[in-house]
């Protein structure tokens, strides 16, 4: 991931919210470009887009007709897996890694990463890595509350010359825009 300028993939995300005993599943497409740019397009079960140009993060929910705007630094105070995929994190510096099980011939690498210092609510990060090409096939995040989010990637493609316009967002007309504190545009107060 350090040697590639961008990548795109299909994803399936499964989230287990322990306190509610509830599982949620979503799927779509994701694009990453260095440094810090990403665009998640959720297609199922509901449409949603999460877009970042490296400085600002927009979350757009068409059904709710609203966009939430936050500064990237505020949105990712912890070292979320997406920050590494976007080229702004450092696994070696921020985590202690170990094999979940010793690798055996023909099996993918399964790694457990434990934060070296507090990363917000992030307790552990697990990565499933393709043994042949070292692509990250799956990232699983476990937080301090016991919630687990697992993202599986497929159809991974590197170095696509993705346009920077893919990583900016202009809210459609008729959509309410909410700026989180500290995220209002210069000279504006936001909502």
Quote the pTM value. 0.84
Give the model's pLDDT for residue 73: 72
pLDDT of amino acid 129: 93
pLDDT value of residue 72: 80
pLDDT score for 190 = 44
Q: Tell me, what's the pLDDT at 13? A: 95
Residue 12 phi, psi (nearest 5): -125, 125
Burial code of 155-183, b = ≥16 C-beta within 10 A, e = fewer?
ebeeeeebeeebbebeeeeeeeeebbeeb
pLDDT of residue 82: 58
pLDDT at 54: 87
In this prediction, residue 92 carries a pLDDT of 79
Across the 191 residues of the chain, what is the mean pLDDT of every consecutive 10-residue run?
Answer: 88 90 93 91 95 93 95 65 61 85 84 80 87 92 89 96 96 93 54 47
Distance CA 128, CA 138 (A): 5
Spatial separation of the C-alpha atoms in residues 158 and 147, rounded to whole Å: 31
Q: Is the backbone peptide bond immediately before 42 cis, with ω within 30 degrees of 0?
A: no
């Amino acid at each position: 991931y350090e040697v590639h300028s961008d990548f795109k993939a299909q994803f399936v995300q499964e989230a287990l919210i322990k306190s509610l005993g509830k599982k949620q599943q979503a799927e779509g497409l994701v694009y990453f470009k260095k440094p810090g740019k990403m665009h998640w397009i959720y297609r199922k079960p509901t449409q949603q887009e999460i877009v970042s140009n490296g400085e600002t993060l927009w979350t757009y929910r068409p059904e709710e007709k609203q966009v939430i705007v936050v500064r990237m630094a505020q949105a990712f105070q912890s070292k979320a897996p997406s920050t590494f995929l976007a080229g702004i994190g450092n696994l070696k510096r921020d985590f202690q890694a170990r094999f979940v099980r010793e690798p055996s011939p023909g099996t993918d690498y399964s790694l457990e990463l434990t934060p070296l210092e507090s990363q917000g609510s992030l307790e552990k990060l697990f990565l499933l890595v393709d043994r042949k090409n070292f692509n990250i096939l799956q990232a699983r995040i476990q937080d301090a509350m016991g919630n687990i989010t697992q993202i599986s990637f497929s159809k991974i493609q590197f170095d696509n010359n993705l346009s920077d316009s893919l990583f900016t967002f202009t809210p459609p007309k008729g959509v309410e825009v909410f700026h989180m504190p500290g995220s209002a545009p210069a000279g504006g107060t936001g909502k």
